[in-house]
């Protein structure tokens, strides 16, 4: 693993950093494949948006890119974290707080064995309701940790988090997509959840295919009646769901169609390190 803090190799953060004290910051997780970063500009736009939403000014994209180019990994998982910086105990943000950028470079995970799809479950942990943080990928991910701790069965790929009303919000590590009457839908994230880059990419791909797209309140019963269900994030790409509880889905022509359209977008939207 390569760890950088403000572009310098480091193995620790100051204990006064607000990321340690409060989870005060934002992050993105992305991949490097064959020396290129798919959807780099989208990732940077999301990072800057999320940082601004909680009052942190993100460094320019080229600063992050220089950190990565200094090590030029051919293939890797990259986690970019932006903390608010250091402060004394207490929630008040000092006027002179200086953000820290953290870059972690690790090997890519093994590819997902997609086949006809993966098995998922419903989590008992509920997604929290906080409109001001809705969609933001902030550093306080405790509810995701609790949700993922609910199972040890390796056959379970991910778990779905429902909100206080019982509607589907997201997976513990993924966004949710479903095919309904020829339209690609995803849960509305106006009260919680993370709006991932691949969620946006899938919508762009579907639009390119001439499909209708939209956000909607997705009850569990509505999800179970969908023609097809997928999970997505920047590391796993688009993964079809084969089973949830007693409901099962078979391979669908849209699996390949949507995956190929996403790959075509990636080819156009890759930032090369060299």
Q: What end-to-end distance do the CA atoms of the chain give, in Å?
A: 21
Identify whether 16 is part of a domain.
yes
Domain range holding 178?
Answer: 118-269
pLDDT of amino acid 72: 79
Identify whether 225 is part of a domain.
yes
Of the residues 106, 137, 169, the one at which a domain ends: 106
Residues 252 and 158 in one domain: yes
Residues 140 and 253 in one domain: yes
Number of domains in the chain: 2
pLDDT of amino acid 125: 98
Residues 181 and 262 in one domain: yes
Q: What residues contact residue 155 under an 8 Å CB cut-off, 6+ apart?
A: 119
Identify whether 156 is part of a domain.
yes
The mean pLDDT value of the chain amounts to: 96
pLDDT exceeds cutoff 80 at 114 = no
- pTM of the complete model: 0.95
Residues 25 and 60 in one domain: yes
Identify whether 144 is part of a domain.
yes
Identify whether 180 is part of a domain.
yes
Identify whether 124 is part of a domain.
yes
Report the CATH number at residue 165.
3.20.10.10
pLDDT per position as a tens digit, 168-197: 999 999 999 999 999 999 999 999 999 999
Least confident of 15-24, 112-121, 189-198, 234-243: 112-121
Residues 153 and 254 in one domain: yes
Angle at 151 between CA 165 and CA 1, to 5 degrees: 110
Report the CATH number at residue 85.
3.30.470.10
Of the residues 72, 106, 140, the one at which a domain ends: 106
Residues 94 and 174 in one domain: no
pLDDT per position as a tens digit, 30-63: 999 999 999 999 999 999 999 999 999 999 999 9
Cβ(18)–Cβ(86) below 8 Å: yes
Residues 71 and 188 in one domain: no
Residues 6 and 67 in one domain: yes
Residues 97 and 66 in one domain: yes
pLDDT of amino acid 112: 87
Identify whether 112 is part of a domain.
no
Q: What residues contact residue 163 under an 8 Å CB cut-off, 6+ apart?
A: 126, 127, 129, 169, 191, 192
Of the residues 106, 128, 154, the one at which a domain ends: 106
pLDDT exceeds cutoff 90 at 115 = no
* Three state DSSP letters for the chain: CEEEECCEECCCCCCCEHHHHHCCEEEEEEEEECCEEECHHHHHHHHHHHHHHCCCCCCCHHHHHHHHHCCCCCCEEEEEEEECCECCCCCCCCCCCCCEEEEEEECCCCCCCCCCCEEEEECCCCCCCCHHHCECCECCCHHHHHHHCCCCCCCEEEEEEECCCCEEEEECCCEEEEEECCEEEEECCCCCCECCHHHHHHHHHHHHCCCEEEEECCEHHHHHCCCEEEEEECCCEEEEEEEECCEECCCCHHHHHHHHHHHHHHHHCEEECC
Percent of the chain beyond pLDDT 90? Answer: 93
Residues 93 and 29 in one domain: yes
Residues 102 and 123 in one domain: no
pLDDT of amino acid 173: 98
Q: Which residue has the higher pLDDT, 227 or 274?
A: 227
> Quick one: angle between helices 197-208 and 253-268, nearest 10?
110
- Residue 65 CA to residue 47 CA, distance in Å, equals 13
Identify whether 113 is part of a domain.
no
| Lookup: tokens for 67 | 């950190």
Per-residue pLDDT, averaged over 121-148, amounts to: 97
Per-residue pLDDT, averaged over 202-226, amounts to: 97
Give the total residue count for the chain: 274
Angle at 239 between CA 118 and CA 31, to 5 degrees: 125
Residues 141 and 259 in one domain: yes
């Amino acid at each position: 693993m390569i760890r950088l803090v403000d572009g310098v190799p480091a193995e620790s953060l100051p204990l006064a950093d607000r990321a340690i004290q409060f989870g005060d910051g934002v992050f993105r997780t992305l991949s490097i494949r064959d020396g290129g970063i798919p959807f780099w500009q989208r990732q940077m736009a999301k990072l800057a948006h999320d940082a601004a939403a909680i009052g942190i000014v993100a460094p320019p994209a080229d600063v992050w890119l220089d950190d990565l180019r200094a090590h030029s990994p051919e293939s890797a998982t990259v986690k970019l974290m932006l903390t608010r910086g250091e402060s004394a105990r207490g929630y008040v943000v000092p006027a002179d707080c200086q953000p820290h950028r953290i870059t972690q470079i690790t090997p890519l995970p093994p590819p997902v064995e997609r086949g006809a799809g993966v098995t998922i479950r419903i989590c008992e942990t509920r997604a929290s309701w906080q409109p001001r943080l809705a969609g933001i990928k902030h550093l306080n991910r405790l509810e995701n940790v609790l949700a993922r701790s609910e199972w040890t069965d390796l056959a379970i790929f991910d778990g779905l988090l429902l909100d206080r009303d019982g509607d589907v919000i997201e997976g513990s590590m993924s966004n949710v997509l479903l095919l309904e009457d020829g339209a690609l839908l995803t849960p509305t994230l106006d009260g919680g959840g993370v709006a991932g880059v691949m969620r946006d990419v899938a919508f762009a791909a579907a639009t390119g295919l001439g499909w209708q797209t939209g956000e909607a309140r997705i009850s569990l019963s509505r999800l179970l009646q969908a023609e097809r269900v997928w999970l997505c994030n920047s590391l796993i790409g688009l993964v079809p769901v084969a089973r949830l509880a007693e409901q099962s889905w078979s391979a669908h022509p849209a699996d390949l169609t949507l995956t190929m359209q996403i790959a075509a977008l990636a080819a156009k939207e890759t930032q090369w390190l060299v």
